[in-house]
Amino acid sequence: MLAVVIDWALASGISLAFFSTGPWQTNGFITLALFAGIQAVFLLTLNGGVGHLLLGMRVVPMNPGRLAPWRPLLRTLLVCLFVPTLIMDADQRGLHDRAAGTLLVRV
């Protein structure tokens, strides 16, 4: 949960810095789009969002190998919906990780 808070704070800071005036005045959708962009880019390139990396976590596929590009994108979409992150299975994996076939691990 702390990783999401870190990523949201980063997206909020960028939103406030660049979109606080003018026709794009800061609103929740800009911050959400920035959050999604940060998540997608960092998951695709470094296997973890900024918060994950700072806290020593990575997102890995359930099957050995690299993350296929669709997995981080689907995971990011579901995290943005927020509710799938609250629904967990017996292994404490969120619905967003189950749907994307990913697992959050400590490194």
Locate the domains of the chain by residue range: 2-106
The SS3 of residue 99 is helix
Burial degree of 5 (CB within 10 A; 0-12, 13-18, 19+): exposed
Query: Tens digits of per-residue pLDDT, 36-86?
Result: 999 999 999 999 999 999 999 999 999 888 889 999 999 999 999 887 778
pLDDT at 26: 61
Total Cβ atoms within 10 A of residue 19? 17
**Which pLDDT does position 11 carry in this prediction?**
93
Alpha helix locations (H) across the chain? 2-19, 28-46, 50-54, 70-81, 83-86, 95-100
C-alpha distances out from residue 70 to 32, 74, 100, Å: 19, 6, 8
pLDDT for the residue 63: 86
Q: What is the pTM of this model?
A: 0.86
